[in-house]
């Protein structure tokens, strides 16, 4: 009888601890380094506020050289998919973000040796969110400043006392994704230009 009571009490304690731990679990947040000692937490796809599927032309200027690729971007409330294509249409990488799970697949044998850009594909995903999302919530270390004149622009600032910009984004039109977007990374010394070539209807 005593053994049964002890076993029952022990089982109750274990179940209580497991339940408490489950309540304290925080959904994973994918963070991407966008500058020195500064991480950006990727935003959940549903926070974009609409569904979008576009074929884009990307041009990166870095160290006096220009590199180009195509990208298929699809955003739905459930996931964000970013596929990089060579100018010939061959798939180079796929990045998938659901708000809970993140995955990236590189089709290059050695991305560090063969990848021509100064960042990994997940950095492009972070840049795209910083440029396209209508609202960027406040995050630790990051502050957003927007201006309407002389051109539509958004600056990504370090939220310290000096608040100096690390990125400057200029737009051609609204909605942002319909026109040319130019992202100047002032700290990492590259420029990323994004232009929509085709708008696809989602089912």
All domains of the chain, ordered by start, with CATH?
Answer: 31-199 (2.50.20)
Tracing tokens 């590259």 back to the chain, one arrives at 190
Kindly report the number of other CB atoms within 10 A of residue 36's CB atom.
9
pLDDT tens per residue, range 110-157: 545 456 666 788 888 999 999 999 999 888 889 999 988 778 899 999
Q: Is the pLDDT of residue 22 over 50?
A: no
pLDDT of residue 100: 93
pTM for this entry: 0.80
- Smallest CA-to-CA distance from 103 within 125, 87, 119, 85 is with 125
pLDDT: which is higher, 1 or 118 = 118
Q: What's the mean per-residue pLDDT of the chain? A: 82
């Amino acid at each position: 009888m005593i053994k049964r009571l002890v076993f029952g009490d022990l089982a109750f304690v274990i179940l209580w601890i497991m339940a408490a731990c489950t309540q304290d679990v925080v959904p994973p947040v994918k963070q991407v380094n966008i500058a020195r000692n500064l991480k950006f937490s990727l935003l959940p796809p549903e926070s974009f506020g609409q569904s979008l599927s576009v074929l884009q032309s990307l041009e990166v200027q870095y160290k006096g050289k220009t590199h180009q690729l195509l990208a298929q971007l699809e955003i739905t409330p459930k996931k964000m998919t970013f596929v990089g294509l060579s100018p010939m249409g061959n798939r180079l990488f796929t990045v998938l973000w659901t708000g809970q799970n993140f995955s990236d697949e590189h089709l290059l044998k050695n991305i560090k040796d063969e990848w021509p850009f100064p960042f990994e594909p997940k950095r492009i995903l972070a840049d795209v969110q910083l440029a396209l999302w209508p609202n960027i919530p406040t995050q630790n270390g990051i502050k957003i400043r927007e201006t309407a004149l002389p051109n539509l622009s958004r600056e990504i600032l370090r939220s310290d006392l000096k608040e100096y910009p690390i990125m400057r984004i200029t737009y051609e039109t609204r909605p942002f994704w319909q026109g040319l977007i130019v992202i100047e990374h002032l700290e990492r010394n590259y420029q990323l230009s994004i232009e929509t070539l085709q708008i696809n209807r989602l089912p």
